[in-house]
Structure 1
Amino acid sequence: MEVILARPRGFCAGVNRAINVVNKALEVYQPPVYVLHEIVHNTHVIRELEEKGAVFVEQLEDIPKGSIAIFSAHGVSQAVKERANELGLRTINATCPLVSKVHRRVSLLNKINYDVVVIGHKGHPEVEGTCGHASGSVHVVSSPDEVQCLQVNTPSRVGYVTQTTLSIDDTAEMLKALRRRFPEISAPSRTDICFATSNRQTAVRELSKAVDLILVVGSKNSSNSNRLREVAQKNNIPAHLIDHAGEIERGWLDKARRIGITAGASAPEHLVTELVAWLRENYKVRTVREMDGVDETICFQLPPI
């Protein structure tokens, strides 16, 4: 058996920043510090931060007055920010800067009387936070069919944004449908799908050319991890999303001579290391190598803490 590691994989700049925000807050203010929703979608990251004294809550009302409240990397609505202020909470915003850029575009489009179409998964925290920055008409679409049902105020005054963790291929189909329906639609100057998401999907496409099976390390509620699995499957390679090596079903590996491994943008590298160690312990692994790929050097500054 040969193991090939995708490059890049694992933590992106936004996830690194969000986790560092929580760690810095714990250092400066001492435990407990509170985080609204999961800071990133990975069970191991959440558990590790909980062990240090972070408390994850689903409602602002669950945070004691005067406490530190951190907003997750996925972003929150304006209403949530205002409610936190009303409750007397000391807030720190760990929203990924690329998500914040999408928020600003939504606000700008509404200010000039444009309907905003948000391409994304209904109910996802990032999409809910993005919609919560609208001051006018906003619509969420998740499939090309939904585009045909859109009712807007003025067809010539429509703009779109996208969830940052979407599949590039799926988004392309959505954009075709939107442009057919609204030929004058306003597009962002650059895609809203973040560079880390694009790079990881591109790496999986290349990896698919060289392997029989791909294992994606990431939690089940991680959008970008699910998209990596889908990219592999669309390239006719069996792929499985696993939270850790213990979730592997041996039947998956029976006929695999070359196994590709990648990790979602919220999955820590130690999980990949543990997965490789598990494979070495249970199978005859001849070589482990990393594929050629993009080096990501972008680093986001921390917010005031």
Structure 2
Amino acid sequence: MSGPAKPSLHVLLAAPRGFCAGVDRAIQIVEVALEKYGAPVYVRHEIVHNKFVVQSLEAKGAIFVKELDQVPDDRPVVFSAHGVPKAVPAEAQRRNMIYVDATCPLVSKVHREAERHHKDGQHILLIGHAGHPEVIGTMGQLPPGTVTLVETVEDVATLEVPATENLAFVTQTTLSVDDTAGIVDALRERFPAISGPKREDICYATTNRQAAVKVIAQRADAVLVLGAPNSSNSMRLVEVAKVQGCPRSVLVQRAANIDWAELEGVATLGITAGASAPEVLVDEVLAELRQRYEVTVEEVVTAVEDVTFKLPRILAAE
């Protein structure tokens, strides 16, 4: 005799979701470094903000450390995708270490912009979140005191800057597109002469994932965002879904973390994944849902991504 019929659940799967080109490249860098140099290969900070990814690389022989002084001189070290202050590669060079920089090329682009503005004598306003590794890395490209962090629209009114006529702004690549637009408008209103990037610094993957989650959030009773609590782009996806009118939007690291009581009465569930969350975690959640529901899946495609980034030259086969 069969048990009671499972409730129906329609899943809206956001596309694009999950890994972006910068994350893909960073993980590949660690894997290729392990092949080339053998284990262990050290990695300064989490290569990307995802526990599952970090643990799978540890299983292959990567050792994650907080700072360079925890790395022996004779082992290679990889710098994370978020970027590092200039002092870090300088110290690695001083110690004659083999180091591989896995900074996302789109973060490096922001670093170059900031350097160019500094060279032109401009004071830089960095839109971003205090303490995030990407913000620390960007501020660390330039001398102390030459970059001021702006976190909110409210911050703009009280900013103290050396000269209002000679300013430029850059932004962290993983912010909310809409929030950042509000901060940029406030900056332009207060400092009409401020210069900014020709194209938005927020990366294509962040922009695309937010656009996709907006579409599914408008149709869903609840949204699950797969990602890590320290992943800025994943946290922004939750916020964006809520703003779009889906208050039952939550971050989960993987299927085991789902609070099933929160999904009580949900007929349409949106699912997406932050740029550092692997697709295997999405598959895991779908498998878990199928245990409990009669699931139909609709992939909602709002953009197609074909961006790839080359690996650093140091990893090329000799």
Shorter-chain TM-score above 0.5? yes
Name 1:15's counterpart in structure 2. 23
Name 1:277's counterpart in structure 2. 287
Name 2:3's counterpart in structure 1. none
* Contact kept in structure 2, 1:71 and 1:93, CA below 8 Å: yes
Name 1:253's counterpart in structure 2. 263
| Aligned equivalents of 2:147, 2:10: Cα separation in 1 | 48
Does residue 44 of the first structure (1) align with residue 47 of the second (2)? no
Name 1:134's counterpart in structure 2. 142
| Aligned equivalents of 1:148, 1:291: Cα separation in 2 | 40
* Contact kept in structure 2, 1:61 and 1:87, CA below 8 Å: no
| Aligned equivalents of 1:236, 1:89: Cα separation in 2 | 51
Does residue 224 of the first structure (1) align with residue 247 of the second (2)? no
Does residue 115 of the first structure (1) align with residue 92 of the second (2)? no
Q: How far apart are 1:53 and its partner, in Å?
A: 0.2
Name 1:202's counterpart in structure 2. 211
DSSP-derived class of the 2:265 partner: coil
Name 2:75's counterpart in structure 1. 67
Does residue 244 of the first structure (1) align with residue 254 of the second (2)? yes
CA RMSD of aligned residues (A): 0.9
| Aligned equivalents of 1:93, 1:76: Cα separation in 2 | 9
1:56 alignment partner, one of 43, 57, 64 = 64
1:143 alignment partner, one of 152, 166, 182 = 152
Name 1:78's counterpart in structure 2. 86
DSSP-derived class of the 1:103 partner: helix
Residue 23 of structure 1 aligns with an amino acid whose one-letter code is: E
Residue 106 of structure 2 aligns with an amino acid whose one-letter code is: L
| Aligned equivalents of 1:128, 1:144: Cα separation in 2 | 20
Residue 110 of structure 1 aligns with an amino acid whose one-letter code is: H
> Aligned pair count?
304
Residue 97 of structure 2 aligns with an amino acid whose one-letter code is: L
With the length of structure 1 as denominator, give the TM-score of the two structures: 0.98
Name 2:6's counterpart in structure 1. none
Q: How far apart are 1:88 and its partner, in Å?
A: 2.6
More displaced, 245-254 or 269-278? 245-254
| Aligned equivalents of 1:243, 1:117: Cα separation in 2 | 33
Name 1:303's counterpart in structure 2. 312
Name 1:95's counterpart in structure 2. 103
Residue 172 of structure 2 aligns with an amino acid whose one-letter code is: Q
Name 2:10's counterpart in structure 1. 2
DSSP-derived class of the 1:4 partner: strand
Gaps of 5+ in 1: none
Residue 82 of structure 1 aligns with an amino acid whose one-letter code is: A
Gaps of 5+ in 2: 1-8
DSSP-derived class of the 1:291 partner: strand
Q: How far apart are 1:284 and its partner, in Å?
A: 2.7
More displaced, 250-259 or 196-205? 250-259
| Aligned equivalents of 2:146, 2:159: Cα separation in 1 | 11
Where do 4+ consecutive residues of structure 1 move more than 4 Å? none
Note the alpha carbon deviations across 1:10-64, whole angstroms, 9 max, x for none.
0000000000000000011100001100000000000000000000000100000
* Contact kept in structure 2, 1:8 and 1:295, CA below 8 Å: yes
Name 2:272's counterpart in structure 1. 262
Note the alpha carbon deviations across 1:71-109, whole angstroms, 9 max, x for none.
100000111111121223211010000000000011111
| Aligned equivalents of 2:162, 2:228: Cα separation in 1 | 39
| Aligned equivalents of 1:16, 1:292: Cα separation in 2 | 20
Q: How far apart are 1:236 and its partner, in Å?
A: 1.6
Residue 109 of structure 1 aligns with an amino acid whose one-letter code is: H
Note the alpha carbon deviations across 1:145-190, whole angstroms, 9 max, x for none.
2122222222111000000000011101111111111101001010
* Contact kept in structure 2, 1:74 and 1:99, CA below 8 Å: yes
* Contact kept in structure 1, 2:218 and 2:245, CA below 8 Å: no
Does residue 291 of the first structure (1) align with residue 300 of the second (2)? yes
Q: How far apart are 1:235 and its partner, in Å?
A: 1.1
| Aligned equivalents of 1:152, 1:4: Cα separation in 2 | 46
Name 2:42's counterpart in structure 1. 34
Name 1:213's counterpart in structure 2. 222
Note the alpha carbon deviations across 1:104-161, whole angstroms, 9 max, x for none.
0111111111000000000000000000111461101101121222222221110000
* Contact kept in structure 1, 2:139 and 2:147, CA below 8 Å: yes
